[in-house]
């Protein structure tokens, strides 16, 4: 079952795509988009979570715009202010909390969404588990606030979230004793995206999905 959730944010009206399982549940996952926007791929991931028994909430950080090509996607990502994206996620959580009776959220994100998933886990109340796929890493002053168990997924052939960035994260995790599990796959950036045959890695994607589902199922509902 799917529906659209309407809510207000500091930056104006916003929506989220909601996918729900047939049976009632209090398990809920926030799904944060790649830099393309809230497209069919992200909605499909939300639907997959619903098939696994979760309510999935995918906030539309671009407020209705979906990029047609990488240049437009890059422009949209650069124009989205971090505080606006976080506020949209926070308000989507607040409305979902009230409408569906949710008390504990998990969050997952890919590419740009991985950046927002990790940042949300550091800064937003009510997140009990997180998975950030090849997203950027916040400054140490923000990262060291992290108390939410987090899976950080990276790809060894990634030119954006490269080995140096992952090593910096792992160093901070050790120094600040952060609850982060770093998992690396021999794959490319966006390897989870099964609509992009040039980067999709079925073996890595399926292994990562199983790991995330297991972690999110451990969250108290």
Q: What residues does each domain of the chain span?
A: 2-217
Can you give the pLDDT at residue 107? 98
What is the pLDDT averaged over residues 42-65? 97
Can you give the pLDDT at residue 175? 95
Query: Which CATH superfamily does the domain covering 2-217 fall into?
Result: Alpha/Beta hydrolase fold, catalytic domain (3.40.50.1820)
Q: pTM of the predicted model, to two decimals?
A: 0.95
Enumerate the β-bridge partners of residue 57: 18, 30
pLDDT band at 53 (very low <50, low <70, confident <90, very high): very high
Phi and psi, residue 84, nearest 5°: -70, -45
Ordered strands of the 127-133 beta sheet: 2-9, 12-19, 55-59, 28-32, 105-110, 127-133, 150-155, 180-185
- For residue 48, give the 3-state DSSP assignment: helix
Can you give the pLDDT at residue 95? 96
- 52 exposed, middle or buried (CB, 10 Å; 0-12, 13-18, 19+)? middle
Residue 220 has pLDDT above 70, yes or no: no
Q: What is the dihedral of CA 26, 110, 183, 54, to 10 degrees?
A: 20
Q: What's the pLDDT tens digit per position in 184-214? A: 999 999 999 999 999 999 999 999 999 999 9
Residue 3 has pLDDT above 70, yes or no: yes
Count helices and strands in the chain by DSSP H and E runs: 7, 8
């Amino acid at each position: 079952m799917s529906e659209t959730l309407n809510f207000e944010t500091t930056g104006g009206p916003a929506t989220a795509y909601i996918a729900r399982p047939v049976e009632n549940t209090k398990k809920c996952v926030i799904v944060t988009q790649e830099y393309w926007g809230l497209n069919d791929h992200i909605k499909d991931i939300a639907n997959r979570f619903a098939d696994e028994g979760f309510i999935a909430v995918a906030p539309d950080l671009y407020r209705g715009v979906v990029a047609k090509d990488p240049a437009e996607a890059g422009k949209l990502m650069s124009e989205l202010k971090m505080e606006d994206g976080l506020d949209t996620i926070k308000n989507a959580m607040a409305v979902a909390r009230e409408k569906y009776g949710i008390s504990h959220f998990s969050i997952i994100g890919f590419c740009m969404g991985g950046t927002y998933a990790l940042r949300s886990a550091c800064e937003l109340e009510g997140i009990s588990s997180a998975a950030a796929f090849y997203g950027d890493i916040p400054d140490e002053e923000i990262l060291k606030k992290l108390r939410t168990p987090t899976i950080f997924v990276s790809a060894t052939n990634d030119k954006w979230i490269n080995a140096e960035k992952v090593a910096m994260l792992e160093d901070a995790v050790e120094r600040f004793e952060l609850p982060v599990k770093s998992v690396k796959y021999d794959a490319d950036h966006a390897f989870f995206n099964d609509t992009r045959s040039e980067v999709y890695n079925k073996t890595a994607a399926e292994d990562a999905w199983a790991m995330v589902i297991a972690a999110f199922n451990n969250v108290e509902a």
